[in-house]
Amino acid sequence: MLRGARLRFTFLCKSKPSSTGKRVAIIGAGIAGLSVAGYLACKGFEVDVYDKQPVAGGLAALAIPSYRIPYTNVAEGVEDLTKNFGVKLYLNTKVMCGERHDEGDDFVKQVADLRNIVKEYDAVVITTGTWRSRKLGVLGEDAKGVVDALTFLYRLRLAEQGLAREAWPKPRSVIVVGAGLSAIDAAEEALRIGAEKVFLVYRRTKKEAPAGEYYVDDLIAKGVKWIELAAPTKIVVENGFVRAVEFQRMRLGPPDKTGRPAPIPIPGSEFTIEADMVIPAVGEISTPPFTHECAEFKQFLNEKGYIVSKGYRLGNTNVFAAGDVLTGPTKLGDACKHGLYAARDVERFLRGV
């Protein structure tokens, strides 16, 4: 499934089959969750999907720029699920066990207890994605004008769809930190809303950019200033607002645990770039619908709050997990594939195979 493609989640069948009588709850209406819904609906299961947003589609609908994925492409697939296959959507509903505030919680009107849903359904599939952004971990990152890429893109899409009045004021100079797809999208959107200067700064080289060299070169051609082998050391703040970012030059060393060359700081190489908006785009963190406060499920979390599972099924429960909430941020095609693999395991579980 590629950016820009029309999304049909029920490609395994042409019409709704007879019901098995088994009910499945999917928590999260992103690409992975909708892929699970389409697979299971085609297998005759009754599917309910819960999501905290006012529309289905997850980050594909509410973060990835519309020129990459028009919302109509997502909406058509969702309409097919609901109108032709009986999938029910429960929007503006956050499912949780324990307390945690995440990005994108603005539209939550009700909170459902995960434990009750697990009891009510024959199977539950968690596909809640990654709605928390990683921090830079530098002095000054709480200043006004520092906005993580997820929030920056999310608010732009909300405004486009008429779900929020406020977008972003026109910035003069924008610094985007990172080189993944979120960073690419944020830099391009900063240009689109009229920024005079946009800098894309990455601690490795273009060759190691997670988004790929093609996207970086495309931005450079559009006027973005690419700066590689540099990492932020602090954000310069004046009267509570960002004024500049101090960077330090890097050199590449031996591969780290990711398999890529490790960036190593070069002493005395600091330099500063002025900016009135800084967009950290250094990754997002998984947001499962339970915390360590939830006794029933805390065994499935590691110390960082990530789901720990040998497969899609959580232990001997009737709960499964799929997509970015389990793998961390991935491309849409990978999220779709992951959802389909998980759905296959759910089907086997429900059929007792």
Over residues 126-147, the pLDDT tens digits come to 999 999 999 999 999 999 999 9
Q: How far apart are CA 202 and CA 179, in angstroms?
A: 6
Beta strands in 119-172 (DSSP E): 123-126, 132-133
Going from N- to C-terminal start, the domains of the chain cover 23-131+284-351, 135-280
At 5 the pLDDT is 57
Q: What is the CATH number of domain 23-131+284-351?
A: 3.50.50.60
Cα gap 284→210, rounded to integer Å: 14
Q: Please name which of 215, 214, 132 lies closest in space to residue 176, comparing C-alpha atoms.
A: 215
What's the whole-model pTM score?
Answer: 0.94
| Backbone φ/ψ region at 229: left (φ over 0), alpha (ψ -120 to 50), beta | left
> Residue 287 is which amino acid?
T
Within the chain, which residues score under 70 in pLDDT?
A: 1-6
The two counts, helices (H) then strands (E), for the chain are 10, 17
CB contact burial 150-174 (16+ within 10 A = b; e otherwise): bebbbbbbbeeeeebeeebeebebb
- CATH code: domain 135-280 is 3.50.50.60
Per-residue pLDDT, 1: 38
From the CB of residue 328, how many other CB atoms can be counted at a distance below 10 Å? 13
